[in-house]
Amino acid sequence: MSNVTPAVPDYGYDYGYSGVSALAAFGILVALFYLIIIAYLVTSYVIQSLALYRMAKNRNLKYPGLAWVPVANSWIIGSVVDHHSRIGGIDRKWRKTLLTLSIISATGVFLYFILGFAVSFSMVIGAAPASGLIVILVPVLIIYILAAAANSLCTLICIYKIFEELTPAKAVKYILLSILVPLGGPICMLIASKSMIGVPVYYPPYYPPQPAEPAEDNAAPEE
């Protein structure tokens, strides 16, 4: 009898190739997902900044370029609302409120990521106990959540006030689109920015009246 063992097909290469293909496909999907998110955020930011810049320029507000600066653009949102409230003789100071909340939120995000990295690094190298950093991290996270929630709520109120002032008949519709529809808020703000309600009226400079032209000789006599 022959001691030769029958050859058994080796499917390892096929299975490995399938695993690599599935992993590559998953990586492509993840990359596409992040690209879509980034494209959405950039598009939303550009449209909203353009709308705020147009509103600020039309109403002759100070520093309209802040509409393009992250965090500082909250000053423009509040300034537009305050401009219309000052027409009625009241200064609500929304610009200061929104800017303060935006700074607190941005600072909270920065500190949270810095402390989170420090906690992770200390746990990996074991150079220092992470418990002390965690004690600091938790209050920072709570402050950030509260400030972010207050900032989002106040911003939404101001955006509604902008719609209410510039497009009063469509204010409720626009704020619902802003909440429920992707890119709805920036697009509605861009449409509302075309409204000239509350824009100062500039009259032409005054000229002294010119002397009346002499009557023509052949003018018809008055009856």
Number of separate helices (H) and strands (E) present in the chain: 6, 0
Residue 3 confidence (pLDDT): 59
Residue 115 confidence (pLDDT): 76
CA distances from 50 to 56, 73, 151, 166, 219 (A): 10, 11, 21, 16, 58
Tell whether pTM > 0.85.
no
Spatial neighbors of 122 by CB under 8 A, at least 6 apart, are: 128, 129, 130, 133
Q: What is the pLDDT along the chain (223 residues), one digit of tens a residue?
A: 555 555 555 545 454 555 567 777 777 888 899 899 999 999 999 999 999 999 999 999 989 999 999 999 999 999 999 998 887 778 889 999 999 999 998 888 888 788 777 777 666 666 555 566 667 777 878 888 888 899 999 999 999 999 999 999 999 999 999 999 999 999 999 999 998 888 876 555 555 555 555 555 555 554 4
Residue 23 confidence (pLDDT): 75
Q: Which phi and psi (to 5°) does residue 14 adopt? A: -65, -45
Closest CA to 159 of 103, 94, 204: 94
Residue 223 confidence (pLDDT): 46
